[in-house]
């Protein structure tokens, strides 16, 4: 009998559906996993997990009959995709359904970062305004040159929103995107040098690890702003912290970090940095849509061995 295995904590509605509709097993704590996998590993045919946990090579080795990994979320960099491909294991994620909310967050984070809205709120709450001090002037968003690093579904949605602010748009992706009027830049550094605001919207994983390195950040420059709603691993966080602290960048809006939920201590005291707890897709509507698509992928796989939204790397 093919069994479903839940790996990692999932949203309550999804976890409840897995338990009630599929009698799913749940991978236990690390010290209990060896005995659990010896007993149940050979019966597991599909794993349901999320971008926070994923399936590594060791777990793949313990699941000889695994056929599919159903991922809650658009990111799947925590799963060893290369190892899965070697074994013929297919993987799905939940694209499109979170595109609008992530793009909305990117725009909102940009406005907050340049206009200092969250910092101004803290200023009012602390009594600074009432005591007679004017809040410092901030920077205009309209008309700024915006660079999109990763012009996929989310990147394009972000670009469309910035068009409404009369912002010239440039981008860098692994290849030029046909049919777009946005200016293509051959490298991330070239894009940063031509941008006032660099929005990181690329996928995570080994291929993009450290893509925004010190040279890219320095090219963005002392008047430039970094907005990251992708993955913390894409940015050299040590270099970012140093440049923000020492004036090498004007500011940053960050929804993701290299070692979540740990945020670099030095960022906490900086008013030119807006810090969010990885909430870009965190709306009631989007989470419900993600849960629905995850369950639809699982049902399709168990019914006829296909996934509705396989990731590109394993799409046949």
Identify the residue whose tokens are 């000889």.
64
Q: What tokens were used for 184?
A: 């293509």
**Alpha-carbon span 36 to 190, nearest angstrom:** 51
Q: What tokens were used for 197?
A: 């605001």
Question: Is 278 annotated in the active site?
Answer: yes
Question: Is 231 annotated in the active site?
Answer: yes
Closest by alpha carbon to 71, among 48, 95, 89, 98?
A: 48
The CA distances from residue 127 to 55, 135, 171, 205, 260, in Å, are: 49, 12, 42, 44, 32
Beta bridge partners of 251: 225
**Alpha-carbon span 77 to 288, nearest angstrom:** 22
Beta bridge partners of 200: 149, 228
Out of 260, 266, 285, 313, pick the active-site residue. 260
- Is the Cβ–Cβ distance between 243 and 223 less than 8 Å? no
- Is the Cβ–Cβ distance between 92 and 311 less than 8 Å? yes
Q: Which helix (H) or strand (E) segment is 200 a member of?
A: strand 197-200
Question: Is 218 annotated in the active site?
Answer: no
Out of 144, 161, 231, 287, pick the active-site residue. 231
**Alpha-carbon span 15 to 271, nearest angstrom:** 39
Q: Which residues contact 29 (CB under 8 A, 6 or more apart)?
A: none
Out of 3, 145, 245, 278, pick the active-site residue. 278
Helix (H, G, I), strand (E, B) or coil at 222: coil
Cα of first residue to Cα of last residue in the chain, in angstroms, is 26
- Is the Cβ–Cβ distance between 228 and 254 less than 8 Å? yes
Active-site residues: which are they?
231, 260, 278
């Amino acid at each position: 009998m093919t069994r479903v295995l839940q790996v990692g904590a999932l949203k309550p509605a999804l976890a409840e559906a897995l338990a009630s509709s599929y009698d799913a097993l749940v991978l236990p704590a690390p010290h209990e996993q060896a005995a659990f996998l010896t007993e149940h590993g050979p019966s597991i045919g599909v794993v349901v997990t999320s971008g926070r946990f994923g399936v590594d090579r060791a777990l793949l080795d313990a699941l000889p009959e695994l056929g599919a990994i159903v991922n809650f979320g658009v990111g799947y960099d925590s799963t060893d995709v290369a190892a899965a491909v070697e074994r013929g294991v297919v993987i799905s994620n939940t694209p499109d359904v979170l595109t609008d909310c992530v793009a909305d967050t990117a725009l909102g984070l940009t406005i907050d970062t340049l206009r200092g809205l969250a910092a101004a709120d803290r200023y009012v709450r602390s009594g600074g305004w009432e005591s007679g001090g004017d809040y410092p002037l901030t920077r205009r968003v309209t008309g700024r040159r915006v660079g999109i690093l990763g012009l996929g579904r989310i990147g394009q949605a972000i670009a469309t929103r910035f068009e409404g602010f009369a912002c010239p748009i440039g981008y860098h992706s692994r290849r030029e995107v046909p049919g777009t009027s946005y200016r293509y830049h051959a490298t991330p550094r070239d894009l940063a040098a031509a941008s006032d605001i660099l929005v990181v919207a690329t996928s995570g994983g080994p291929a993009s690890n450290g893509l925004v390195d010190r040279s890219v950040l320095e090219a963005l420059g002392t008047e430039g702003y970094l907005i990251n709603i992708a993955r913390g691993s894409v940015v050299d966080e040590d270099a970012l912290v140093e440049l923000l602290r020492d004036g090498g960048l004007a500011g940053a809006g960050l929804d993701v970090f290299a070692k979540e939920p740990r945020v670099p201590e030095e960022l906490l005291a900086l008013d030119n940095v807006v810090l969010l707890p990885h909430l870009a897709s965190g709306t009631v509507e989007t989470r419900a849509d993600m849960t629905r698509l995850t369950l639809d992928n699982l049902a399709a796989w168990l019914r006829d061995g296909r996934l509705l939204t396989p990731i590109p790397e394993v799409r046949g």
